[in-house]
């Protein structure tokens, strides 16, 4: 690795111990950028990389709320405002018991490069809380969202920092948080994206991450002489990203045979009945295991990680970080996988990514492949500013154009640096280009 890149990575690890996810995300990106620093030694004297790896601001706060039994619960909330060189901080809010500073920083760091790739004017940030929404009543969810926003509102704003949803934060939670922001800030502005259509949301935002993922994977397959049509596809998770990745896959002629949640996976050789999955997950907020009660020929396996042993040509990990490890990657390669597209953020471990790249499997990294969600959030911001609404087709068409453009940029960057099939490298370098231009233009600040 380039000496400057190695030094910054070593210092980052020493200064931020006990942050393995942040180290992992930083290692992947800095390794790729090493090639850029070989070409541009002048970046070192400007301290560019040191500035990029340090968040502009990290806010951590307590979130006290009262459960249905009248007991006070206290959770830990975060907002990492990582980089605002290209535009206001932008990135989702995650409610999950695993949330900690390391996970917030890895997500915020990835978000900077992802948002740069979209070509829209947004910086990078991320937030969340170690709150577990599972099993909570609707009233508890509302009280918790209000408690979370009662602190977060001080730090965000339509031109400052615009959060959105992520794991555990969907339309319901955005609604409660937006309602409370409006009340205490006394303004009805585009401070959150993923809003309901009745109060300023964008058509196609709900579908955007999953659709965008499949647009990019389809583009990648076509570019390398193949097609999504007729391929067998395995998708992990059964949340927002997974459901709409499955929908677009089916629309483009792929066959989805498996989906999962954190308890287990379903396998349906006839092709997943997506209407049934939506009914279970979106309407009833149930578990994926319920699928086999209706579809008698399908099977349920109570071990979600084994989903990667199912033979398929295309694998779309859409659940969470590090869900696809080296053994899973080897099983997929052995079973003939030709393409992997990351719908989730960093779902593939560094070692597993290497297995795919070494085997010549087409690999679309999350910061490019799942950028459709945040790109459409930027389209929601544009509609809010104009007080205008675009049709579903108009937003979807713009989303498609953005994903095609992202693929073009990352594949060109990969080719420019002599590794045309290495889209991990291409995405990191292409994302860095605009970021570095903006930061250098702003001077030392
Ligand atoms: P949801 O909360 O809607 O769904 C998450 C899904 O992943 C659920 O099926 C959940 O199962 C499963 N899951 C969560 N944790 C684990 C785990 N440890 N092991 C296995 N499965 C797990 O989240 P989203 O669909 O919004 O997000 C999924 C991923 O996509 C995340 O990495 C997120 O950061 C990323 N992403 C999301 C975007 C968006 O627009 N929503 C945009 C870009 C990226 P269970 O119900 O059992 O918890």
| Confidence at residue 355, expressed as pLDDT on a 0 to 100 scale | 98
Sorting pLDDT into bands at 50, 70 and 90, what band is 48?
very high
- Residue 238 Cβ < 6 Å to ligand 1: yes
Q: Which tens digits make up the pLDDT trace of 320-360?
A: 999 999 999 999 999 999 999 999 999 999 999 999 999 99
- Residue 272 Cβ < 6 Å to ligand 1: no
- Residue 240 Cβ < 6 Å to ligand 1: yes
- Residue 370 Cβ < 6 Å to ligand 1: yes
Q: Tell me which residue has its CA closest to atom 48 in ligand 1.
A: 262
Tokens of 164: 């959105």
CB 112 within 8 A of CB 51: no
Q: Which tens digits make up the pLDDT trace of 95-122?
A: 999 999 999 999 999 999 999 999 999 9
Where do we find the tokens 């809380």? Answer: 129
Give CA–CA dist 183/179, Å, rounded: 6
Distance 169 CA to ligand 1 centre (A): 10
Distance 161 CA to ligand 1 centre (A): 22
| Confidence at residue 196, expressed as pLDDT on a 0 to 100 scale | 97
Q: Which tens digits make up the pLDDT trace of 159-211?
A: 999 999 999 999 999 999 999 999 999 999 999 999 999 999 999 999 999 99
Give CA–CA dist 431/22, Å, rounded: 18
Q: Which atom of ligand 1 is nearest to the CA of 366?
A: 44
| Confidence at residue 282, expressed as pLDDT on a 0 to 100 scale | 94
Sorting pLDDT into bands at 50, 70 and 90, what band is 395?
very high
3-state secondary structure labels for all residues of 244-292: HHHHHHHHCCCEEEEEECCCCEEECCCCCCHHHHHHHHHHCCCCHHHHH
Q: Which tens digits make up the pLDDT trace of 244-283?
A: 999 999 999 999 999 999 999 999 999 999 999 999 999 9
Distance 319 CA to ligand 1 centre (A): 4
User: 417 Cβ partners below 8 Å, 6+ apart?
Assistant: 35, 425, 426, 429
Helix runs in 200-239, H state only: 205-223
For 392-418, what is the mean pLDDT?
Answer: 98
The number of residues making up the chain comes to 445
Q: Tell me which residue has its CA closest to atom 46 in ligand 1.
A: 261
- Residue 204 Cβ < 6 Å to ligand 1: no
Distance 277 CA to ligand 1 centre (A): 15
Could you give all domains of the chain from N- to C-terminal order, each with its CATH number? Answer: 55-190 (3.40.50.10860), 206-369 (3.40.50.720)
- Residue 169 Cβ < 6 Å to ligand 1: no
Q: What backbone phi and psi angles, to 5 degrees, belong to 164?
A: -145, -165
Q: Find the radius of gyration of the CA atoms of the chain.
A: 21
- Residue 133 Cβ < 6 Å to ligand 1: no
- Residue 193 Cβ < 6 Å to ligand 1: no
Share of the chain above pLDDT 70, in %: 100
For 423-434, what is the mean pLDDT?
Answer: 98
Distance 344 CA to ligand 1 centre (A): 7
Give CA–CA dist 209/357, Å, rounded: 24
Q: Tell me which residue has its CA closest to atom 22 in ligand 1.
A: 262
Closest CA to 325 of 359, 354, 365: 354
Active site residue 126: yes
Bridge-based pairing of strands 299-301 and 265-267 is: antiparallel
Catalytic, out of 126, 255, 367, 434: 126
Q: Which atom of ligand 1 is nearest to the CA of 343?
A: 30
Give CA–CA dist 83/436, Å, rounded: 11
| Confidence at residue 289, expressed as pLDDT on a 0 to 100 scale | 98
| CA distances, 245 to each of 78, 210, 215, 286, 346 (Å) | 29, 4, 9, 19, 17
- Residue 342 Cβ < 6 Å to ligand 1: no
* Mean pLDDT, the chain, integer: 97
| Confidence at residue 425, expressed as pLDDT on a 0 to 100 scale | 97
Q: Tell me which residue has its CA closest to atom 40 in ligand 1.
A: 373
Closest CA to 434 of 123, 18, 15: 123
Share of the chain above pLDDT 90, in %: 100
| Confidence at residue 155, expressed as pLDDT on a 0 to 100 scale | 98
Of 92, 118, 167, 245, which is best to mutate to test ligand 1, by the most ligand atoms within 8 angstroms of its C-beta?
167
User: 219 Cβ partners below 8 Å, 6+ apart?
Assistant: 403, 404, 407
3-state secondary structure of 3: helix
* Strands, E assignment, 56-185: 57-66, 72-83, 89-95, 124-129, 161-164
pTM: 0.96
CB 439 within 8 A of CB 52: yes
Distance 237 CA to ligand 1 centre (A): 6
């Amino acid at each position: 690795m380039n000496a400057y890149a190695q030094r910054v990575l070593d210092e980052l690890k020493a200064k931020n111990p006990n942050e393995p996810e942040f180290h992992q995300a930083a290692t992947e990106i800095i390794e790729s950028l090493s090639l850029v620093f070989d070409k541009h030694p002048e970046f070192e004297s400007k301290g560019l990389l040191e500035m990029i790896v340090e968040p502009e601001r990290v806010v951590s706060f307590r979130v006290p709320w009262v459960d249905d039994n009248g007991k006070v619960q206290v959770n830990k909330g975060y907002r990492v405002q990582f980089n605002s060189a290209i535009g206001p901080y932008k990135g989702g809010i995650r409610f999950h018991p695993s949330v900690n500073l390391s996970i917030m920083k890895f997500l915020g760091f990835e978000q900077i490069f992802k948002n740069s790739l979209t070509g829209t004017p947004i910086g990078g940030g991320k937030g969340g809380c170690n709150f577990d929404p599972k099993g909570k009543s609707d009233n508890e969810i509302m009280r918790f969202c209000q408690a979370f926003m009662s602190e977060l509102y001080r730090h965000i704003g339509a031109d400052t920092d615009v959060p959105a949803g992520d794991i555990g934060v969907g339309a319901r939670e955005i609604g409660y948080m937006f309602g409370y922001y409006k009340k205490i800030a006394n303004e009805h502005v585009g401070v959150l994206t993923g809003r309901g259509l009745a109060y300023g949301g964008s058509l196609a935002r709900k579908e955007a991450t999953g659709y965008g993922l499949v647009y990019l994977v389809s583009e990648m397959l076509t570019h390398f002489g193949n097609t999504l049509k007729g391929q067998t596809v395995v998708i992990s998770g059964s949340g927002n990203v997974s459901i709409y990745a499955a929908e677009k896959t089916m629309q483009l002629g792929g066959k989805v045979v498996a989906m999962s949640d954190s308890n287990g996976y379903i396998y349906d050789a006839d092709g997943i009945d997506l209407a049934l999955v939506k009914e279970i997950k979106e309407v009833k907020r149930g578990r994926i295991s319920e699928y086999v009660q209706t579809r008698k020929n399908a099977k349920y396996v109570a071990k979600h990680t084994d989903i990667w042993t199912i033979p398929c040509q295309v694998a779309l990990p859409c659940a969470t970080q590090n869900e696809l490890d080296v053994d899973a990657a080897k099983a997929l390669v052995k079973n003939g996988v030709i393409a992997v597209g990351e719908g989730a953020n960093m779902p593939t471990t560094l070692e597993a990514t290497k297995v795919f790249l070494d085997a010549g499997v087409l690999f679309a990294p999350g910061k490019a492949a799942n950028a459709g969600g945040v790109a459409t959030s930027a389209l929601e911001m544009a509609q809010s500013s104009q007080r205008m609404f675009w049709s579903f087709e108009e937003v979807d068409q713009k989303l498609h154009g953005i994903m095609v453009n992202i693929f073009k940029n990352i594949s060109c960057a990969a080719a420019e640096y002599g590794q045309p099939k290495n889209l991990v490298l291409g995405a990191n370098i292409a994302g860095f280009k605009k970021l570095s231009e903006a930061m250098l233009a702003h001077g030392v600040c």
